[in-house]
Structure 1
Amino acid sequence: MKRFERVILLVLDSVGVGALPDANKYGDESANTLANVATYVKGLHLPNLQALGLGNIISIQGLQLSEEPQGHYGKMAEASVGKDTTTGHWEIAGLKTDIPFNTYPNGFPEEIIKPFCEAIGRNILGNKTASGTDIINELGEEHMRTGAPIVYTSADSVFQVAAHEQVIPLDELYRICKVARELLVGEYSVARVIARPFIGSANAFQRTPNRKDLSVLPPQPTILDHVVESNHEVIGIGKIYDIFGGQGVSTSYKTVSNYHGLEVLEQELMKDTKGLIFTNLVDFDMMFGHRNDPVGYAKALEEVDDFIPRILRNLNDTDLLIITADHGCDPTHAGTDHTREYVPIIVYHNNIAVGNDLGIRSSFSDIAATISEALQVKRPANGTSFYANI
């Protein structure tokens, strides 16, 4: 069987393809990120993803069924409990999460906030669920006047601390977040503590690129660890380093947009890398899904589609490309939370004659199992490989 030397794993963050059978437990029965966005904008134009088989996975307005798809295609169910970024990526990498991370839709309890304030020597502002840009506009002036950091959360399992860089210097903000990370364990554990620095003045505050994530580490080895242990490289582009707490990542590149992430990926493809290039494109989720912006979401999809030929022409005959997602975030759905959905899977390499239907996979970890076969490294604990079908 053919062996690959490099796997390119591209996660289109939140591009779900329909509600899972248990979506009713999450209030997500009508969610279908990709199809609902397409319907809202009266049809998507994604000719390159269509050619790879995206339109064969589900019915999407504007996309045609390809009789001879250039890639293999299918969709995957999430076996883990939850619908957050960390859970989704960990499952893609071979870990199943049976107990969901804590979320705090009503803010953090006194049992967390009191010791946190005592440890950092400051009171806090906020302590509620909020958009990061909205809360700094709301509380930024008071923060500058009092020196109290702004604490907030979201639908994800996150404890976020926003501070003006001229009020709380970056080193101090990072120390404050480290204190939170040490407190938020056990029954109060969260997936990520995030430093959210900003600059500017009233009515003109803006977040800076100096964000820092302190993630809980995966409890077991992932496919990333197995690739590194086999003397291959794992290149993380975008949020990958943060999601895995750096565990199993050889080299990391931060990105400022989907397009920047694709440019970094393109540059990495031109190198003689052996191993795994793991890229997350977060704009779909952060900029458009959570902000209920289906028009922006559609434009972001078309931007990625336009870039696909640049990726394909930089693949060599020992490269395997896998495109997927980590959860849904339907911008047409009520609320701004992630949505419990199937995710697409598209697989491409240069030697495909006609793509196969990979069916409905029972776990995101099927990707990890397949990567282990492709690169001939240790298998993760979970997942069923579809390597024989590609």
Structure 2
Amino acid sequence: MERFHRVFIIVLDSLGIGEMEDAARFGDEGADTLGHIAQAVPRLSLPNLAKLGLWNAHPSGKEQAEKHPEGYYGVLQERSNGKDTMTGHWEMMGIYTTKPFKTFTENGFPEELIKELEERTGRTIIGNKSASGTEILEELGEEEIATGHMIVYTSADSVLQICGNEETFGLDELYRCCEIARELTMKDEWKVGRVIARPYVGKKKGEFVRTSNRHDYAVKPPGPTVLDALKKAGYDVISIGKIKDIFAGEGITKAWKSKSSVHGMEQTTEAADQEFHGLCFVNLVDFDALWGHRRDPEGYAAELERFDNKLGELLDVLQEDDLLMITADHGNDPTYKGTDHTREKVPLLVYSGSDKGAGSLGEQDTFAVIGATVAENFGVEMPEGTIGHSLLHLIR
């Protein structure tokens, strides 16, 4: 029997809560995104997350833990072999990834790939290195505008990113080039999780600004997910933020693009004010993209406080038969070495609009408990080949 009419899943992109047992294999010993932010920014105040049990879930958060939390709290380990956005989100919906996506952080993309991309697009490529999006625009934006060359770069993620000035390069041309890059990077030796179109405006250094016309070209999940099962059964599956891109549109019935994490929370509250039956799946990327990769604990802390404020607004409009689940997809410790994601456990906070129960959910061995719980609630079967076990019986 259906317990909840609507389920909201909010992913705080990269909010890890401490190293996983195999962190050394990924070079991430000692990483702790939330814990180290709290140490670096002692004034950090997250009253709404705290009352739901965030610090109860954190391994070293005993001093800040709520004696009587208003929600359920737990810790999730990632079973998949990776620490990126796609493996994390896919696992939440039942996909177990054994082979991680390729990264090209150290030396950029192979000469063979660059040459073929130049031939197919008709553009000379500049950049071809790991860089932040803002830095590479400052370095090469003027050259791209003047010459018509194409900026290609990567990051610590499994991505190939292409910049294009909306006025001189053009959005249609940028998307065309990205579609060619996606085709090429489906080869095993060049396979990246996502090709990302990064449009921008401005005419010179100091004026360049990336726009919201970003588009991700992701690899499709290797098989059906819980999202597909929900959609097939006739339920609404609303995507907010980059969820649609992460799943290449599979299993989505309606998608809202977000301009920022704050905007994403405003959209989530707007969705909660509307009638739908099913799942609202939200990714808030600014924690990761703006602060984690840039190793900025102050900025990350401020973003968390902005989220916490918007979370309070969402809690006020949830209905009695709504279920809210807050989690993360990996870590990105802003105090850690390098600029890569970090292999960490993540929190799971669960709150019912009926406010009937609270307590510990313990530590679970996969992110896939999230999708399995949603599937059981709506009475749909987990697709063949997926993993995960439901926690619905623990939630009153």
Q: TM-score range by the shorter chain?
A: over 0.9
Distance between the aligned counterparts of 1:360 and 1:68, measured in 2?
19
Does residue 1:4 correspond to 2:1, yes or no? no
Task: From the superposition, tell whether residues 308 and 209 of structure 1 become closer, same or farther in structure 2 (CA, over 3 Å).
Answer: closer
Q: Is the CA contact 1:108–1:127 (under 8 Å) kept in the aligned structure 2?
A: yes
Q: Which residue of 2 aligns with 1:67?
A: 67
Q: Is the CA contact 1:46–1:63 (under 8 Å) kept in the aligned structure 2?
A: no
Give how far 1:41 is off. 0.7
Q: Matches of residues 1-390 of structure 1 in structure 2 within 5 Å?
A: 3-58=3-58, 64-105=64-105, 106-187=107-188, 188-203=190-205, 204-380=207-383, 381-390=386-395
Give how far 1:64 is off. 2.2
Give how far 1:166 is off. 2.5
Give how far 1:211 is off. 1.0
Give how far 1:351 is off. 3.4
What's the secondary structure of 1:311's corresponding residue?
helix
Give how far 1:51 is off. 1.0
Letter in 1 for 2:38: A
Letter in 1 for 2:220: L
What's the secondary structure of 1:313's corresponding residue?
helix
Runs of 4+ in 1 over 4 A off after TM superposition: 59-63
Q: Is the CA contact 1:85–1:326 (under 8 Å) kept in the aligned structure 2?
A: yes
5+ residue gaps, structure 2? none
Distance between the aligned counterparts of 1:210 and 1:353, measured in 2?
42
Deviation by residue 1:142-194 (Cα, 9 ceiling, x = unmatched): 11222110000011111101121222111111111110111111312111111
Q: Is the CA contact 2:242–2:283 (under 8 Å) kept in the aligned structure 1?
A: yes
What's the secondary structure of 2:317's corresponding residue?
coil
Q: Is the CA contact 1:366–1:386 (under 8 Å) kept in the aligned structure 2?
A: yes
Distance between the aligned counterparts of 1:75 and 1:125, measured in 2?
43
Distance between the aligned counterparts of 2:2 and 2:217, measured in 1?
39
What's the secondary structure of 1:127's corresponding residue?
strand
Give how far 1:111 is off. 2.1
Q: Is the CA contact 2:9–2:280 (under 8 Å) kept in the aligned structure 1?
A: yes
Give how far 1:59 is off. 5.1
Deviation by residue 1:45-76 (Cα, 9 ceiling, x = unmatched): 11111111111112566962222211110110
Task: From the superposition, tell whether residues 9 and 240 of structure 1 become closer, same or farther in structure 2 (CA, over 3 Å).
Answer: same
Letter in 1 for 2:91: E
CA RMSD after TM alignment:
1.4
Letter in 1 for 2:66: S
Distance between the aligned counterparts of 2:87 and 2:134, measured in 1?
25
Distance between the aligned counterparts of 1:61 and 1:39, measured in 2?
11
Give how far 1:126 is off. 0.6
Deviation by residue 1:26-57 (Cα, 9 ceiling, x = unmatched): 11111100010000112421111111111111
Distance between the aligned counterparts of 1:62 and 1:117, measured in 2?
55
Letter in 2 for 1:192: R
Task: From the superposition, tell whether residues 16 and 145 of structure 1 become closer, same or farther in structure 2 (CA, over 3 Å).
Answer: same
Give how far 1:340 is off. 0.5
Distance between the aligned counterparts of 1:206 and 1:270, measured in 2?
33
- TM-score normalized by the length of structure 1: 0.97
Give how far 1:353 is off. 3.8
What's the secondary structure of 1:11's corresponding residue?
strand
What's the secondary structure of 1:197's corresponding residue?
strand
Q: Is the CA contact 1:44–1:62 (under 8 Å) kept in the aligned structure 2?
A: no
Distance between the aligned counterparts of 1:163 and 1:208, measured in 2?
10
Distance between the aligned counterparts of 2:353 and 2:167, measured in 1?
52
Deviation by residue 1:168-224 (Cα, 9 ceiling, x = unmatched): 111111111110111111312111111111121221211122111111111111111
Q: Is the CA contact 2:265–2:311 (under 8 Å) kept in the aligned structure 1?
A: no
Q: Is the CA contact 1:6–1:375 (under 8 Å) kept in the aligned structure 2?
A: no
Distance between the aligned counterparts of 1:84 and 1:59, measured in 2?
22
Q: Is the CA contact 1:45–1:63 (under 8 Å) kept in the aligned structure 2?
A: no
Task: From the superposition, tell whether residues 61 and 22 of structure 1 become closer, same or farther in structure 2 (CA, over 3 Å).
Answer: closer
Give how far 1:354 is off. 4.0
Deviation by residue 1:89-148 (Cα, 9 ceiling, x = unmatched): 111111111000011111110221111111111210011101011001101121122211
Q: Is the CA contact 2:330–2:346 (under 8 Å) kept in the aligned structure 1?
A: yes
Letter in 2 for 1:54: L
Q: Is the CA contact 1:257–1:281 (under 8 Å) kept in the aligned structure 2?
A: yes
Distance between the aligned counterparts of 2:276 and 2:63, measured in 1?
34
Q: Is the CA contact 1:69–1:354 (under 8 Å) kept in the aligned structure 2?
A: no
Distance between the aligned counterparts of 1:129 and 1:101, measured in 2?
16
Task: From the superposition, tell whether residues 278 and 63 of structure 1 become closer, same or farther in structure 2 (CA, over 3 Å).
Answer: farther
